Each structure stands twice: as C-alpha cells, then as structure tokens.
Structure 1
Amino acid sequence: MAAALGSASSLPRFLGTDASPSVVSRRSPASASLCSRSLHSRSLVSVRATPFNPRCEVVSDNFVRKNEADSLPSGPSPLELLKSSAADRYTKERSSIIVIGLNIHTSPVEIREKLAIPEAQWPQVIGELCALNHIQEAAVLSTCNRMEIYVLALSQHRGVKEVTEWMSKQSGVPLAELREHQFLLYNKDATQHLFEVAAGLDSLVLGEAQILAQVKQVVKTGQGVAGFDRQISGLFKQAISVGKRVRTETNISSGSVSVSSAAVELALMKLPESSFATSRVVVFGAGKMGKLVIKHLVAKGCNRMVVVNRTEERVNAIRQELQGVDIVYRPLSETLTCAAEGDVIFTCTASESPLFSKENVQMLPSVEQGIGQRLFIDISVPRNVEPGISDLDSAQLYNVDDLEEVVAANKEDRLQKATEARGIIFEELNKFESWKDSLETVPTIKKFRAYVERIRASEMEKCLSKMGGDISKKQKEAIYDLSMSIVKKLLHGPMQHLRCDGNDDRSLSEVLENMRALNRMFDLETEMSMLEEKIKVKMERAKK
C-alpha cells in the first residue's frame, strides 16, 4: 500500500488548513465543478487538481514540510508525527465523518463502473480502509447510481488523502481524473447527504424505494465486521430510520418509478407504437434488479419472456411469485443464442465484464419486422453491453445514465413532497448530531467512573478491615449499598454535565469544557494521550 501513495503536495491545499471540519473551501467560478443539486444551501464539491482560489493557498511552512515528508517512503511513523512540533495542530482535530464518492450527479457511468464494488467484497473493503493509518471506521455504499465510501477519520485531510489514493489504486483511475469527478462532504454535511440518499432525495428517480433497501444492506453486511463500528453503524441505522419516516409521512414514493421501471418505460418509448405486445423480450439477470424489471414488464402487459441467469433457482422463485406468466429459463452459456432470438434485451447482471461486444451484436440476425432495430437497455454497473454497439445500424443502446428522459416526466408531482422530506431530515440530523457529539465525552465518563470506583472499593476495604472479622454478611451488604449509593449521588451531577443529548439547554462547547475541566481536576487521560492510544492500536493491528 505504501508504494501506491502519491505525493501529498498533489492534494488540494485547502484540505490541510485548520478550517472547521464542516467547511469545504470553494474555487473560483472558472475552475469549480459543483453538482447541480443543492439542499439547504449546500453543494457537493468536485475536487480537481487545478489551481484554487489564492485564499485557499495560504498554509504554514510546517504543514508544507509535513506534506512533503508524507511522500517519503521511509518517513516518520504516525506516532512520531503526533509527537512532532506540529502535534498541537494535529491533535486539535476531532475525528471526522467523511463521505468520499462519485454518483450520477458528478460522474458518468464509464467512471463509476471502474470504482463499483460488489456487495460480497464490502467487508473486505472495510478491513482494507480501516488498515489505513488515519481511518477508524468505514462503510461502502455501491449501487448502479453511486459508489460512496463513508469513514470516521482521526485526521480529516490525511483521511481524505489515504482513501482517495486507495480508491485510485483499486480502480486504476488516475488521481487527477478521480478528483475531477469525486465529491467530498464532512461531518454534518456528510450525515445530511446520507439521510437524503436513504430518503430517495439524491436518486435519479426522486423518492425511489430501492435505495433504502440498499442502505439496509450496508448495515446487514457490516454486522460483526471490524471497522463497521459505533459511529458509522449508528449513522447508517439512523439513515434507515430517516428513510422510513420520510416515506411514511410524505408518501414521496407513491407513484414513483425505480431504475428498473424507468428502464421498462424507456423501452416502451423507443419501440414503434403497438409493437410491444409482439416483441420478443429477453432479461439477463434474475437478481434484485432483474426481478423488478420482470415485474414491471408484466405490469405493462408482457406475459412471456426469456430470463437468462447463472442458475435456475432464482428464476423458479420468480415463477412462483408471478403465476400465469410464461417465464422461460436459459443458462448464461446460451447468451448469444438468446440475444439472436430477442428484439428487446434488458441486461442487469453483476458481471464485471461485458456480455455483449460490438462484434457479437453485429453477427446477430435481424429483429422481427416492424421493430426496426434490436433494443438494448443496460442498467448494470459495471455495464454489460459495450458502448460501441451504438455505432451499429441494427441496434439501439441505452444505459442507466439515459433514464433521465423518463424520470423528468415523473418528477414534478413529487417536488412538494421532497420539501416536506427535507424538514424531517433537518429534525433527524439534529438528533444524530447531538448523539454523535455526546460520544466525545464517553471516554471521560468511563474513566471518571472507574476513578471513583477505585476510591470507593479501596475505602470500603479499609473500613471492613478496621471492623474485624466479626461483621456479618448482612452488615457487609449494607456497607456496600451505602458506598454505592454515595457514589451514585455524587456522580449524578458531573454525569449530567457531560452529556449532550438534546434534552437540555447545554451547548456542545459547554459540555466539552466540562469534560476538559474534569480531566484537569482528576488527572484523567488527556486529548493527546487519547489520540496517541488510538494510533498505537492501529499500529499494533498492522503488525499482526
């Protein structure tokens, strides 16, 4: 992994400033690449390796020298960096939740497919990300419309650097090209983004239901995986609650279309009028997406189709669910034969290589008279059909990025519901931020409780020894209960002032000041030593 790390000086310098974690520096209009979507006056920033606004170029000499040192293969360890002259700035950074990704708003499918991560590999990817020096927790959300990595980073700018370089190495996409299409969001903005994703507000199809199931799958896949821990798992679980609440209270998904239904609608739009009933339909893939395509075809009156899949088991399950529909199973080994017999072909498999090349399609016989061209609707990421097929006179090809034509017609009637959904998201965002902020004081609470417990146990032992051996069991229990009661009442006040759960008027800054005061008064672990311990743990993991 060390060999894959590029020079730190190639990073946009604003990532190394001491700005608030929730603030993303912006470039001048001439060089900025902003997503068209903006909720609550927030934009996703696409990071390019181009010059930034001069205001963002001002950094300390220490930081420049440190970034140069990061690029050396035999540089100091993270622990040594922590203890260097810049340690004060380094330790003042709180752990940050960051999302680094590409989606349908920022990058075309030809870039997204290179970074797509199959669901079966998500646990492995979490492990690889958490093995990076400054990443504590991680999660992956990879669908046909997005590939987003969520991390809890010890250092914001170092975390972004490590994850971006990991993404470049794994995908083969050069860093400069990756930065051109990726977006970065931090802390509250990252949280809000995931809530919007789960609610269907960030989807190509506004209010689509399938994305919520995909967010749920992140949690299901991450259960028991080291690195999918308290903050990131809590973030995704809260996102699921937000998605459910938005759909329940706004009905944003009622009458909405999914990617699969939009694909079927697109096919109907492109076919000559009245030819759908006689068209020979072939669906490649019987997974979640394929099953939805089949259901929407049936809803449009298609009662016979060929389904090509690796095994027949899933096809049989669909047959059981859709009684009265003639579904013919064919194995993947008959791919070209089935395509030759089809007029409309939907591809939605998890294959990482194309099922159809330009040469394959060029050799296929003509379609049924009256249809004109063989129609390919490819909603797979990575794509199942080579783009060169569009050059053929005998075929039409559409992929997931071409569905906007269908989606636009269904969007207006849900915009009001989207406004209502943002109000719900704002409420839930404040709840999550309060919960997350309260975690900052958890180590102090635990250590203070342990400190007080040591004193209680020691003093009780002294008391019992002075009373001699004639004391009864009942008396011992009474003394124990007395000591516990005193401790509980003494702890109540400090514990209340160390919590920031939204149930009182205390601000986060007040709670953190109380935490620092308690650390000073009772000589509990300092901010420096807490971070030092985290890095030691990561270094020990790396040695195993």
Structure 2
Amino acid sequence: MSAASGFATSFAGVTLESLLSYSSQSRVSSSSSSSSSQLRLFCKPVGNRRWICSRGVTLNPMCEVPSNGLFQDEKIDSRSTSVSILEQLKTSAADRYTKERSSIVVIGLSVHTAPVEMREKLAIPEAEWPRAIGELCGLNHIEEAAVLSTCNRMEIYAVALSQHRGIREVIDWMAKTSGIPVSELREHLFLLHDNDATQHLFEVASGLDSLVLGEGQILAQVRQVVKVGQGVVGFGRNISYLFKQAITVGRRVRTETNIASGAVSVSSAAVELALMKLPDSLSSTARMLVIGAGKMGKLVIKHLVAKGCMKMVVVNRSEEKVAAIREELKDVEIIYKPLTEMLSCTTEADVIFTSTASETPLYLKQHVEALPPGSPEIGGLRLFIDISVPRNVGSCVSDLKTARVYNVDDLKEVVAANKEDRLRKAMEAQAIIDQESIQFQAWRDSLETVPTIKKLRSYAERIRISELEKCLSKLGNDIPKKTRKSVDDLSRGIVNKLLHGPMQHLRCDNSDSRTLSEILENMHALNRMFNLDTELSILEQKIRAKVEQTQK
C-alpha cells in the first residue's frame, strides 16, 4: 500500500471519538480553538535522516500516521452544531471500525530518536517481559504483544484489533509504566504498522537499525524475545511467527552478505571510542578498568585484548565469572577485585568501562571528585565509557573537569566511519529483507481468507446435507447402506469439485501468479455472492469479548 492510499484509508477509518479529537484541525467548527504547540511523532529514521509526522500529515512514506488526531491535544468547540455534524458520521465510522483488519504495529523509541535519559526510564528488564505482555494484552484492543528492550531501544510489538485505539492504549500504557507524560513521550516515539513494522523488525534483526551496522548481539536479543515469550499468554501466532521469521532473516543476512565482516558490537565500539580519545603513546599502556563481568563486560575485555591490551583490572560482585574469563584468555593478566574496592581501583585507572545491571549509578559526582588526578599524559583526566542502560555513571560526573564521560549515545562517533561501505552492505541485506517481507505478508494475508474459506465450506455443506436428506427421504427407508453411502459420496464429490475453483482463488501462498489484491477481491466477491457476511465479523467478536471481560 502506498503512503497516499494508506493515508486515505486512515481517514476512511476515523471513528466518532477520533473525529472529536480531530475536529479543530479539520475545521468542523469555525470557532474551534487549537493548541499553539507543535506536537510531533518521530517515524522510523531513514539513514541519517529523521522524518517527522506533524499534525496528522505524514512526511515519511515509511510511516503512515493515523489521521484521527491521535497525537493532538487540540480542544474543540462543544456547541451543538459541531456535535450534530459529527453524530451524522457515527454510523459509517462505527461500521468501518468493526470491519477493519487487525494490524501489526510497533511503537517505540531507540538511540536514533531518544536520548539515553529517556530510554533508561522506559527500559523493561527481561524478567518483566511476561508481565508487560500480560498487561498489554489486557488492553481492550490489543490481542498479542511482545517487548524488545535493549540498551539501544525499547519497542512494543502488538497485534491491534483496532489500529487507532490500540496505538492510543499502548502509548498510554508506556506513559503510565515509565512515569513520562504522553506529551513528552510522543516527541521521541516512532510508529510503524503492518508491512512497515515487519520490515523494521527484520532490519533490526539484521543489524541494519543498530548503532553499529551488522552487530550480532541484537540477533541474540531478538531470539531471546521468542524464548521468553514461549508459553506466555499473549505471545500469539502472529507475533511469534513474526519474530521467528526475523531470526531467519537475521541469519540469512549474516550468511549471504558480508555485513558482519569488520562489524563491531556496542562493546567493540566502546573500546574503539576509548582508544580514539587516548594519545597514541598511551594506547597500548593505558590502565584499563572494567566494571562488570557479564556479557557486555566480557566482550569489552575481548575487544581490549584484540587491540593489544594484555593487562586489566575487572571489578565484579563475585569472582566466578572473572575466573571463567581468565581461564578462556590464559595469556592475559586479568586481576579480579570485589565491588567494594571499585573506587580504589578507579584511582589507579585511566579508562573505566562500566557495564553492570545496576539500576542506580555506581559513580556519582562526589565519588569522582574525591579521586586524585589522572595520568598527566591525558591531562589528568579519567575516561568513563558507560555502556549500561540504565547508566552506571551519573550525569553529574560530566560536570567535573577531571573526568570525561561517554555513554552509548556517544558511540555514534565511532560508527561515522566507512559510511559508503556500510550503505553498500545494507543494500545487499535489504534485498533479502524485501524477499522475506513478501513471504511473511503472504502468510499473514492468507489468514484473512481463512474465515471466508470456512464459511463457504459450511454454506456448501448445509446445502449438501439439506438436498441429501430430501433425496434419501424420496427413496424411502429401505435403501441399502451401500447405496446410501454412494449417494452421500456423490454429493460430497460434486460439492468438492464445485468448491475447488473458488478455493484455489482464495489461497494466498505465493505459489502462483495471482496478486494479493486479486485474491482479496475474490474473497470480497464470494462474501457478497453467497452472503457470507451475515454473522458478526471475527474481529468484532474479539473486540466485544475483550471489552466485556474488562468490564467484569
């Protein structure tokens, strides 16, 4: 779907509630008052460009913003004339609401759209992902959900029974969970839906959306989402298949392209940044201190060794993990110190890497201020490279003249190199992503025809049974079982032969030349011809069930 057609569809799907929030913008009332603030929603960044959606107008064809004034705070005139006009649209809006298709949406923020101060407030620990999925799926219009929370991003993936309402509910939930007002949060959020949401996750898993192109850690994090989601109510068929497909895409991209060759992780970029800030004379002899021996800390140690650093101090709560690293890197002198000796170790260090899961800063201004000056070769400074989210080094430390603090946002300086080569690799990966996106979309679109297939078969079966009973009743009660079975088989055979053609034209498995639009046209045609839309839509049934459950 093009941006233009998607934008038009959004207008067609507007509800009464949406119209009320949108009316001042659309000038339903000439005296409507509007907020003077320019409220924005960041869409997915493209390269180094950051597209912005403002006041319901989408400037980014990759991100179609619901045109129902979802992110507007504008007030309207409550005069009866305005309400009267809006009430006239209520019936058609409600009809569209019950017939719209569920959407896959992703709402979140990343290193591209939000500073670390905001990302750390929204970060959700892995142990809390099942709880978050449960809360999200408890919302009236969210059927499935998943959480992808790393040091560089916090994204909510969901299947929304109503796209506009579902998005509103998720954003409200994010604001409530983080304590960040919606008005502040939406300045940094990006929103994508359906095929664009699918493409985004595939790019994330492939390392195209990472701060460092092609870094491999994100694929492991996507895999962890599936592992944690197994058995969690709400991590449903659509979301589960989407993430499993993303893992497949990530593997293909790394196998079939050279995007990972020379690519570095966040830990590697942290080491690169530290060496960039040190004088050449000190690069091989600088005193290195690593706080934390988890996955990130271990990678920092390995990258330091790769750069020629053969001696370092590692501070950790326990010695077990440090001993394992020491055993793996037998030629490297790794000195273990307990966390209680962190400050004394800092006194003897030139560069301090922090990568712990502490939810409160380990270093505050008063701690660093009390330390003696650093090495004269770097102007008496100490370099703090903080790759933790939440941060391990308080922002107040940056105010000191004796310290230089760098966090994950500062790694952009390292990533700036070899831009042309990165873009070439990304184009190779994008071709694979496009192929896999078509396959996923075909699978999901095939689900849309399933209700029609079932209803058509049920309709034909009712007619078959009815006519079969009439035939058998005319033949009398003395019909041999063999004859009865033959007549029954004959009726089934006729029905199956007649249904074969229509069923073939409803299948969406990408195995023939029929386009998706042709298949959906066939579906709608069959619905009309056989009056298959007489029952409540499955989507409407799901929405009503969730609302009733919430009201209990």
Scaled by the length of structure 1, the TM-score of the pair is 0.80
Structure 1: 5+ residue stretches without partners: 1-7, 18-29, 69-82
Among 419, 432, 436, the residue aligned to 2:444: 436
| Distance (whole Å) between structure 2 residues aligned to residue 248 and residue 94 of structure 1 | 35
Q: SS of the counterpart of 2:334?
A: strand
| Distance (whole Å) between structure 2 residues aligned to residue 57 and residue 419 of structure 1 | 26
Question: Structure 1 residues 538, 309: CA separation in 2 closer, same or farther (over 3 Å shift)?
Answer: farther
Residues 81-96 of structure 1 mapped to structure 2, 5 A cutoff? 86-96=93-103
Q: Which residue of 2 aligns with 1:246?
A: 253
Q: Is the 1:285–1:309 Cα contact (8 Å) retained in structure 2?
A: yes
**2:204 counterpart of 1:197:** yes
Deviations 1:133-192 (A, max 9, x none): 111111111111111111111112111111111111111111111111111112122222
Q: How far is the alpha carbon of 1:452 from its aligned partner? A: 5.2
**2:427 counterpart of 1:408:** no
| Distance (whole Å) between structure 1 residues aligned to residue 497 and residue 516 of structure 2 | 24
Structure 2: 5+ residue stretches without partners: 1-16, 27-37, 59-63, 77-89
Q: How far is the alpha carbon of 1:105 from its aligned partner? A: 1.5
Question: Structure 1 residues 516, 44: CA separation in 2 closer, same or farther (over 3 Å shift)?
Answer: farther
Residues 33-182 of structure 1 mapped to structure 2, 5 A cutoff? 37-38=45-46, 45-46=51-52, 86-182=93-189
Question: Structure 1 residues 477, 57: CA separation in 2 closer, same or farther (over 3 Å shift)?
Answer: closer
Q: SS of the counterpart of 1:38?
A: coil
More deviation in 247-256 or 490-499? 490-499
Q: Which residue of 1 aligns with 2:512?
A: 504
Q: Is the 1:374–1:395 Cα contact (8 Å) retained in structure 2?
A: yes
Scaled by the length of structure 2, the TM-score of the pair is 0.79
Question: Structure 1 residues 357, 527: CA separation in 2 closer, same or farther (over 3 Å shift)?
Answer: farther
| Distance (whole Å) between structure 2 residues aligned to residue 60 and residue 396 of structure 1 | 46
| Distance (whole Å) between structure 2 residues aligned to residue 171 and residue 127 of structure 1 | 17
Among 410, 416, 430, the residue aligned to 1:422: 430
Q: How far is the alpha carbon of 1:431 from its aligned partner? A: 1.9
Residues 435-454 of structure 1 mapped to structure 2, 5 A cutoff? 435-450=443-458
Question: Structure 1 residues 452, 421: CA separation in 2 closer, same or farther (over 3 Å shift)?
Answer: same
| Distance (whole Å) between structure 2 residues aligned to residue 11 and residue 319 of structure 1 | 64
What RMSD over aligned residues (CA atoms) do the two structures have, in Å?
A: 3.8
**2:225 counterpart of 1:218:** yes
- Amino acid aligned to 2:286: S
| Distance (whole Å) between structure 1 residues aligned to residue 478 and residue 161 of structure 2 | 52
Q: What percentage of aligned pairs have identical amino acids?
A: 65
More deviation in 416-425 or 306-315? 306-315
**2:320 counterpart of 1:325:** no
**2:365 counterpart of 1:364:** no
Among 329, 338, 346, the residue aligned to 2:353: 346
Deviations 1:65-92 (A, max 9, x none): xx99xxxxxxxxxxxxxx9663212124
- Amino acid aligned to 1:389: V
Q: SS of the counterpart of 1:138?
A: strand
- Amino acid aligned to 2:96: R
Question: Structure 1 residues 446, 317: CA separation in 2 closer, same or farther (over 3 Å shift)?
Answer: farther
Q: SS of the counterpart of 1:283?
A: strand
Q: SS of the counterpart of 2:280?
A: coil
Question: Structure 1 residues 332, 59: CA separation in 2 closer, same or farther (over 3 Å shift)?
Answer: closer
Deviations 1:362-407 (A, max 9, x none): 1223335534212110011111111111111221110111112211
- Amino acid aligned to 1:170: T
Among 175, 183, 191, the residue aligned to 1:184: 191
Q: Is the 1:45–1:184 Cα contact (8 Å) retained in structure 2?
A: no
Question: Structure 1 residues 285, 84: CA separation in 2 closer, same or farther (over 3 Å shift)?
Answer: farther
| Distance (whole Å) between structure 1 residues aligned to residue 198 and residue 519 of structure 2 | 22
Question: Structure 1 residues 232, 35: CA separation in 2 closer, same or farther (over 3 Å shift)?
Answer: closer
- Amino acid aligned to 1:413: D
**How many residues in Structure 1 have an aligned counterpart in Structure 2?**
500
| Distance (whole Å) between structure 2 residues aligned to residue 197 and residue 57 of structure 1 | 21
Question: Structure 1 residues 295, 133: CA separation in 2 closer, same or farther (over 3 Å shift)?
Answer: same
